[in-house]
Amino acid sequence: MPYVNVKVAGKLSKEQKQRLVEGITKLLEEVADKPPSATYVVIEEVDRDNWGKGGKLLSDK
């Protein structure tokens, strides 16, 4: 059973989340022959104050 954890900085709309879940599930079915009913996708929205890159918080960019 595939388990995919997607972390994104900031918020996504419900539509964006749905598209991600559909796309990831379809890709695993096509590439790894995994049935959609066995695929779990978790989306974590990380506040930009809690994510850093290059020594700076994303919220400061």
Residue 36 annotated in active site: no
Selecting among 2, 12, 24, 29, the annotated active-site residue is 2
**Other CB atoms closer than 10 Å to residue 8's CB: what's the count?**
14
**How far, in Å, CA of 16 to CA of 26, rounded?**
15
Distances from the Cα of 52 to the Cαs of 6, 8, 23, in angstroms? 17, 12, 27
Instruction: Give the residue numbers marked as catalytic.
Output: 2
